[in-house]
Amino acid sequence: MNGVHDMGGLQGYGPVMIEANEPLFHGEWERRALGITVAMGASGLWNIDLARSARESLPPLDYVQGPYYAIWIQALQKLLLERGLITPQELAQGQALTPPVAGVRVLKAAEVDAALAKGSPADRPSTCAPRFAVGQRVRALNLNPQGHTRLPRYVRGHVGTVVLHHGSHVLPDQHVKQMLPPFDGTAEHLYTVVFEGAELWGPQAEAGSQVCVDAWESYLEAVPSP
């Protein structure tokens, strides 16, 4: 979706503010927010793409204001409510009022290390040959889906060169189509495409700058070599 989360190239956000000796968390609530969100992610009732989609589709003003972990909590609440895991009344009261939904996988303390070490690999066996090759010129398509995508607006319509091919990875645009498992695990060939700064930003581009994005095959089309 063309949301406020798609920030590449926006102006007016000011200088990058760096905090000396920045602590990992700026409050107990941030620690718990991280832990709760990661633990509930193991429930199996959504996937990382649905989680990202929930965050980026929060009300724009909430998203921009943050703070960062507030976005995580707000999105987690949305994911839980959407699936009936909690009710609005329970959320307001901070108390369980109804029986839990069955079939929710609960991550136990003894399982955490293995779960974090395993992660969630996104690569899948390729089911077809790649359309593009390293070194090939490609154009990012001007796609503007309402749903979740990982093609940032600032590259759409621009021509770049494939620098890496990563095999096939789960396509986020499809992975969010089902709210509950089984999820659509359609995978496509994934490429890293480099764009010259001048191609993306015109005369305002910094000299000698380039930007790479990771783009799935359906985000791209071939461009004839000059």
Partner 1 sequence: MQADHGHHHDHSHEQSTLSEMDLRVRALETLLTQKGYLDPAAVDRIIETYEVHVGPHNGAKVVARAWVDPAFRDWLLQDATAAIASMDYTGRQGEHMVAVPNTPETHHMVVCTLCSCYPWPVLGLPPVWYKSAAYRSRAVIEPRAVLADFGLSLPAEKQIRVWDSTAEVRYLVLPERPTGTEGWS
User: Is residue 97 within 8 Å of residue 123, measured between CB atoms?
Assistant: no
User: 10 or 133, CB closer to partner 1?
Assistant: 10
Residue 62 makes contact with partner 1 by CB under 8 A = no
From the centroid of its chain, how far is CA 80?
18
Min separation Cβ 14 and partner 1, Å? 5
Is 57 a residue that touches partner 1 (CB under 8 A)? Answer: no
Chain residues 24-53 in contact with partner 1, contact rule CB under 8 A: 24, 26-29, 31-36, 38-40, 43, 52
Q: Which stretch binds partner 1 (CB under 8 A): 93-101, 126-134, 177-185?
A: 93-101
Residues 146-185 vs partner 1: string with x where CB under 8 A? ----xxx-x---------x-x--x----------------
Shorter beta-carbon distance to partner 1: residue 24 or 129? 24
Asked whether 42 and 115 are in contact (CB, 8 A), the reply is yes
CB 187 within 8 A of CB 170: yes
Give the three-state DSSP class for 89. helix
Binding span for partner 1 by CB under 8 A among 69-77, 125-133, 177-185: 69-77
Q: What does the alpha-carbon distance between residue 198 and residue 210 come to, in Å, rounded to a whole number?
A: 8
CA–CA separation, 44 and 69 (whole Å):
21
Indicate left, alpha or beta for 45 from its phi (over 0: left) and psi (-120 to 50: alpha).
alpha
Residues 107-136 close enough to bind partner 1 by CB under 8 A:
107-109, 111-113, 115-123
The DSSP element (H or E) to which 173 belongs, if any, is: helix 172-175
Minimum CB distance to partner 1 smaller for 10 or for 143: 10
